[in-house]
Amino acid sequence: QSVLTQPPSASGTPGQRVTISCSGSSSNIGTKPLNWYQQLPGTAPRLLVYANDQRPSGVPDRFSGSKSGTSASLAISGLQSEDEADYYCAAWDGSLNDWVFGGGTKLTVL
């Protein structure tokens, strides 16, 4: 059971906008910034969003992050087939003194 809760799956058709949620508590998302990672099949994770809504250089602006209270979301607009991957949220937990991850969301592009 992961400390951060994500839906196990999500899907969309090319061009659509999809969102992936990540729910936590006051000891992590509620008071600490959230990061998002993309893991393409058979590859290492890649940083997509840090500090809730900041994109590293090289990440397309189709990817955007937001946070409200103890929940956060990753939105992907203009969905492309190459976006098919697992997506993970992560935050520092001040009570556990541990980095915690969501269980991951498998995104399928139909």
Partner 1 sequence: EVHLVESGGGLVKPGGSLRLSCAASGFTFSNAGMSWVRQAPGKGLEWVGRIKSRTDGGAIAYGAPVKDRFAISRDESQNTLFLQMNSLTTEDTAVYYCTTYLKDSSGWHYFDHWGQGTLVTVSS
Residue 71 corresponds to which tokens in the numbers above?
A: 């929940």
Is 108 an interacting residue with respect to partner 1 (CB under 8 A)? no
Place of tokens 């900041």: 54
Asked if 69 touches partner 1 (CB under 8 A), the answer is no
Q: Should residue 63 be labelled a site residue for partner 1 when binding is judged by CB under 8 A?
A: no
- What angle (nearest 5°) sits at the alpha carbon of residue 12, between those of residues 83 and 35? 50
Per CB under 8 A, 97 contacts partner 1: yes
32, 64, 67, 109: which one contacts partner 1 (CB under 8 A)?
A: 32
Segment lying near partner 1 (by CB under 8 A), choices 14-22, 62-70, 73-81, 86-94: 86-94
